[in-house]
Amino acid sequence: MFFHKNRLVRCVYSLPVLIVYFISFMNMVFLHKGYLDQNPQDDYAMIKCLIVYFATITGVIALTKTAITEPGEVPLQFDLLEESFKESLNTEDYGIERYHATVTYCRKCDRNRPVRAHHCILCNKCIMRMDHHCPWVGNCVGIYNYRTFVQLVLYAWISTSFVAGACGEILLREDGQTDNWNFAGFVVSWALFVMTAMLTVYHLWMICENSNTIELTFHKHYNLFNFGSLTNFQQIFGPPGLHYILPIEFSLNPEAGFIYPIKLENLKGETVYFTNKVLI
C-alpha cells in the first residue's frame, strides 16, 4: 500500500499505520509521565523501563518490517516454479505417505495460484497463505510477513502489560496521589493490553493449528495441513534461531507458500472431493 501508484490511496492507507507509531510513542510517554515521574524510588523501575523500551522498540521494528515486506504475491512465473518444486520434492521427509495440494485458480486474476493463496480485494492480487489485510500495518499479512506480524502483537502485548501494571500500581496506592497522565496511561494501556493479548493468543493458536483467519471456517471439521504444533510452527518460523523472537532477516524454504504437505489421516472419516490437482 505504501508503494501504491495513487498518492491519495497511499496517504489514506498510511494513516492507520502512523496512528500505531503514535500509540507506541505514547506508550513510552505514559511510562514516564504516568509512572516514573510519580514513583522515582521504585526498586524495580529500571527493570520495568528496560523491558518496556525493548518491547516497544522491537515491536516498532516488527511493525515496520510487516508494513514494507512483500507479503507473498504469486509470481507471474508461478506455473514454471511449481513444476520445478514438484520435481525436487522428497516424499520421505515426513516419513509418512505424503501428498501435495498445489494449484487453485483465481477468477479475478485469471490465472493459477498455489493452494492457500487468496485474492485480496484491496491489494487486487493473490497473496500466498493470506491471513488478512491489516489496515494497521497498511499491508496484507501473508506467508512472508506473518512471522513479524505475530512478533508485533506479541511485543505490543508485553509492552502494554508492563505500562498498565506500572500505572495501575500508582493508581491503587494508598496515598491517593495520582494525576491525569497516570489515569490516562492506565486506561489506554489496559485497553491495548486486552486487545493485543487476545490477538497474540489467537495467532499463536492459528499457527499451532496450521490454519489462518480466512481458512478457519474451512478447517472446522478437518484440516489436511495440520502436522502437529511444532511442524506447523516451523512452516512459518523456520528452524530454531534468534529470528523466533526478533524481527531479523530470515529466509523461508524456497517452496514455502507454493506447495504444502497434506496429511490424509486428518480426514477422520470425512469424504473430501478435490476439485483441484492433488499430487502424490
Considering only 11-19, 75-83, 107-115, 223-231, which stretch makes contact with Zn ion by CB under 5 A?
107-115
Q: Which is nearer to Zn ion, 71 or 185 (CB)?
A: 71
Q: Bridge partners of 111?
A: 106
Considering only 30-38, 61-69, 124-132, 223-231, which stretch makes contact with Zn ion by CB under 5 A?
124-132
Backbone φ, ψ for residue 260 (5° rounding): -135, 135
CA pair distance 216, 113, nearest whole angstrom = 20
State yes or no: is 123 an active-site residue.
Answer: no
Q: By CB under 5 A, name the one of 12, 23, 26, 109 that touches Zn ion.
A: 109
Q: By CB under 5 A, name the one of 17, 128, 140, 154 that touches Zn ion.
A: 140
Q: By CB under 5 A, name the one of 4, 10, 86, 119 that touches Zn ion.
A: 119
Question: Cell numbers 504437505 label which residue?
Answer: 261
Residue 38 C-beta-side C-alpha neighbours within 13 Å: 24
Contact 157, 200 (CB under 8 A): yes
Binding of residue 108 to Zn ion (CB under 5 A): yes
Considering only 139-147, 178-186, 209-217, 263-271, which stretch makes contact with Zn ion by CB under 5 A?
139-147
C-alpha cell at 210: 496450521
Question: Cell numbers 493463496 label which residue?
Answer: 117
Binding of residue 68 to Zn ion (CB under 5 A): no
Q: Bridge partners of 73?
A: 127
Binding of residue 129 to Zn ion (CB under 5 A): no
What is the three-class DSSP state of 226? Answer: coil
CA pair distance 109, 142, nearest whole angstrom = 17
By CB under 5 A, the residues from 156 to 185 that bind Zn ion are none
Q: Binding marks (x or -) toward Zn ion, 223..252, rule CB under 5 A?
A: ------------------------------
The CA distances from residue 229 to 87, 219, 225, in Å, are 28, 15, 11
Catalytic-role residue among 126, 134, 140, 167? 134
Q: Which is nearer to Zn ion, 101 or 134 (CB)?
A: 134
Q: How many other C-beta atoms can be found within 10 angstroms of the C-beta atom of residue 101? A: 19
Q: By CB under 5 A, name the one of 12, 36, 68, 122 that touches Zn ion.
A: 122
Q: Indicate which residues carry an active-site annotation.
A: 134
Binding footprint of Zn ion on the chain (CB under 5 A): 106, 108-109, 119-120, 122-123, 126, 133, 140
